[in-house]
Structure 1
Amino acid sequence: MTTEITPTTTKTRRNFSFLFALTLVGLLVLICVALSIATPNFATGNNISNLLRQGSMIAILAIGQTFVIITAGIDLSVGAIVGFSTVVVAGLIQSGMPVYLAIIITLIMGLLIGFFHAFGIVKMGLPPFIITLATLTSLRGIGLLMTNGSTINITDASFNQFSRESFLGVPNLFWMVIIVAVPAFVFLHLSKWGRYLYAVGSNPEAARLSGVSVPKMIYIAYGLSAMCAAIVGVMLAARLGVGNATQGEGWELQAIASSVIGGTSLFGAVGSVHGPLIGAFILATISNGANLLNVNSFWQRIITGALIIIIVFFDQLRRRNR
């Protein structure tokens, strides 16, 4: 049995994605309304700006993670790449390198890490779970060795100031989400490469028989995921003003959760760019509201876990009814 890459299949996928996104937006609005009623501090300008900053970095991670999950893979290393990227960019800036060059080198480093994951999967036959888990552990250790377990302070005022400023009343960090999301949307939903990713996640052998280079798409997916993590690492270093290898711990799980809540199927071949973005801000809103209401942080994890279970369960039902 083979799966053809047809315009009809693409159109059906887009319609489902659009309807699911509307549902998520409705849920996000409902949560915001409920929190606005529950606490007067939620709907303030300062809190909304803080919420946008909180959700921006996980949103970009979720976009990258989505590319990988669509291919029926997983990337557990993105949190470690974030922490390692803060160390790299901070060390380069501290050494006197121009900020723009330090950022470019950090992003290239992230891309190469993604290619290494793809090499392990394609050439060595390692499961995505294993190769990315190994990188997660290794990058933490390498970063700690590079810094001797300490932090690297970033003294470049313009680099640090970027994360704290706004443009047109919107935080710069949120604008970074737009800058990443627009080309990601074009790539995934409006180009042949996006169709190829879905085909690989649906049936790699059928995709190969249709003329798709499956190894090439694996390299692209993991390269984009790791580069998104490197972008987040640069953003985090700018926001905190330091490089520390332990930063971003557990963010890989938040990225996966945002992607799944946004409608990405862990079984592959189903996902979008806008869904994980909304999912990330749903989680950020829940976390923000819980903090304002002085709810125990443990409950936030329980709520996130419950949302994942419910959505994956309904995804399984949808797959059985196909």
Structure 2
Amino acid sequence: MTVTHTSAPAVKGPSDGDRPPGRSRLLAGIGGQNISLVGALIVVLALFGFLNDNYLSLSNMQVIAEAATITGLLAVVQTVVIICGGLDISVGSQVGVASVVSAMVFTSTGANTLAGAAAAIGVGLLVGVVNGVVIVYGRVNPTIATLAGLAAYKGLAQLLSDGRAQGYVLNDDTFVFLGRGKIAGLPVMVWILVVAALTVHLLLKHTDIGRNLYAIGGNDTAARLAGININKYLVFVYALIGVVAAVAGILLTARTGSGQPTSGSEGLELKAITAAALGGCALKGGKGGIGGTLLAVALLGALENGLTVQGINTFWQNVAQGALLVIAVVIQQRRSGERAVGLPH
């Protein structure tokens, strides 16, 4: 059964005579949130381009794109889980587990790339299903369940690797191609993000599955009464997160040359959630899109790279990410018209 988006009441379109002019329709289609992100991105690029002549160079733009790929993959699937009213704080630790497993299996099987990648994806799928089952059938709040997963999977990665980088994969052509190769002038990692983002966008916007996910996040009671199997959808979403996190872990291994239990994956959950929130996802569910999330990923990547190029202490990057997340949530609250906590109506 197909269920329409229930996060907001349907609005009748204007008649031809009342239709806004072409530019207004274009702006409405892009969305105010995305226009703000484009404006902020232009400001960041212009500011750091003015401060450093090499910042806007093609080589540095590629560095920004490559660095943002792993965050982008996680932000895309984080968008999906937030749309359906959930959250996954454990994605960074999942990337670490997948990275370690991919390198260790690759090494132990005599440099078998396929075996390493398959093992990582299998572990990612298992971890994602475990998260989904705990949340759905254990009736545990998603934030608490995945917060526990954040600690557990980080510990698992450290146990498997003894807390050290594992293996060496840069003697393998496939890993080198994934981490450093290019297609049509763009890094392979960027193409992987583009394909993943486009696939998820089509899933959300043009399939019954996507419409049902929006319905679950908008009003889960109505969705259940409409016959949607919410439990099945939630387990599917968390399994999807596990698989994509595993792909991100494989790319991290390819980029760094070895399996990384924590380096390169720690803090990714904050970046992914921040990008999704900045991109317009309502943290209560039922609203969001991949386009806004990708713009937010680009903004975060440009800001992080600019601060690094200017030699600013990396700790300030964490401060900036936290501040942006708060700003995004405040903007959402203002737009929704909800009263502030503790204040009268």
Same fold flag (TM > 0.5): yes
**In structure 2, distance between residues paired with 1:204 and 1:83:** 33
Q: Are residue 224 (structure 1) and residue 243 (structure 2) matched?
A: no
The correspondence for 1:272, drawn from 276, 281, 289, is 289
- Taking only aligned residues, the RMSD between alpha carbons, in angstroms, comes to 2.3
* Structure 2 equivalent of residue 189 of structure 1: 205
Summarize the Cα distance change of 1:315–1:224 in structure 2 as closer, same or farther, 3 Å threshold. same
The answer as to whether partners of 1:80 and 1:249 remain within 8 angstroms in 2 is: yes
SS at match of 1:212: coil
Range with bigger deviation, 136-145 or 69-78: 136-145
**Aligned partners of 2:259 and 2:135: how far apart in 1?**
30
2:18 paired residue number? none
Deviation at 1:168, TM superposition (A): 1.3
Instruction: Pick the aligned partner of 1:213 from 205, 225, 229.
Output: 229
- Within a 5 Å distance, the mapping from 1:1-322 to structure 2 comes to 5=5, 9=10, 18-19=30-31, 20-96=33-109, 98-155=112-169, 156-162=171-177, 163-247=179-263, 248-320=265-337
Task: Note the C-alpha offset of 1:210.
Answer: 1.2
Name the aligned partner's letter for residue 130 of structure 2. Answer: F
Residues in 2 aligned to 1:192 and 1:4: alpha-carbon distance in whole angstroms: 9
Deviations 1:90-122 (A, max 9, x none): 111101263123213322321221111111111
Distance in 2, matches of 1:68 and 1:143, equals 24
* One-letter code aligned to 2:92: G
How many angstroms apart in 1 are the aligned matches of 2:12 and 2:97?
39
Going from structure 1 to structure 2, the CA distance change for 1:41 and 1:217 (only over 3 Å counts) comes to same
User: 2:274 touches 2:325 (CA, 8 Å); kept in 1?
Assistant: yes
Letter of the 1:253 partner, please give it: L
SS at match of 1:307: helix
Helix, strand or coil at the partner of 2:180: coil
User: CA, structure 1 residues 225+11, in 2 after alignment: closer, same or farther (shift >3 Å)?
Assistant: farther
- CA-to-partner distance for each residue in 1:170-218, whole Å, 9 max, x for gaps? 1111111112111111111111111111111111111011121111111
C-alpha contact (below 8 Å) 2:98/2:249 kept by paired residues: yes
Q: Any stretches of 5+ residues in structure 1 without a counterpart? A: none
**CA apart distance, 1:273:** 1.1
**How far apart in 1 are the matches of 2:261 and 2:247?**
15
Distance across 2 between alignment mates of 1:262 and 1:5: 19
Structure with greater helix percent: 1
Q: Distance in 1 between matches of 2:12 and 2:293?
A: 19
Alpha-carbon distance between aligned partners in 1 of 2:212 and 2:12, rounded to the nearest angstrom: 15
Are the counterparts in 1 of residues 74 and 272 from structure 2 also a CA contact under 8 Å?
A: yes
1:144 to 1:25, Cα distance in 2 relative to 1, 3 A: same
Q: Displacement of 1:298 after TM fit?
A: 2.8
Shift of the 283–17 alpha-carbon distance from structure 1 to 2, 3 Å rule, reads: farther
TM-score normalized with structure 2 length: 0.86
Are the aligned partners of 1:41 and 1:292 in contact in 2 as well (CA < 8 Å)? no
Superposed displacement of residue 87, structure 1: 0.8
Gapped regions of structure 2 (runs ≥ 5):
14-26, 339-345
Give, as a single letter, the amino acid of the residue that structure 1 aligns with 2:167: N
Q: Distance in 2 between matches of 1:161 and 1:92?
A: 17
Distance in 2, matches of 1:10 and 1:18, equals 18
Report the TM-score, using the length of structure 1 for normalisation: 0.92
Distance 1:77 1:11, change over 3 A: farther
CA deviations over 1:121-159 (Å, ceiling 9, x no partner): 111111111211122211122222222222212244213
Which whole-Å CA distance do the structure 2 matches of 1:226 and 1:152 have between them? 21
Residue type of the partner of 1:131?
A: A
CA shift, 1:231, in A, is: 0.9
Structure 1 range deviating more: 93-102 or 282-291? 93-102
Q: Output the CA distance in 1 between the equivalents of 2:119 and 2:167.
A: 19
CA distance in structure 2 between the partners assigned to 1:279 and 1:234 by the alignment: 23
Q: In structure 2, do the counterparts of structure 1 residues 146 and 304 end up closer, same or farther at CA, with 3 Å as the change threshold?
A: closer
* % same residue: 31
Shift of 1:294: 1.8
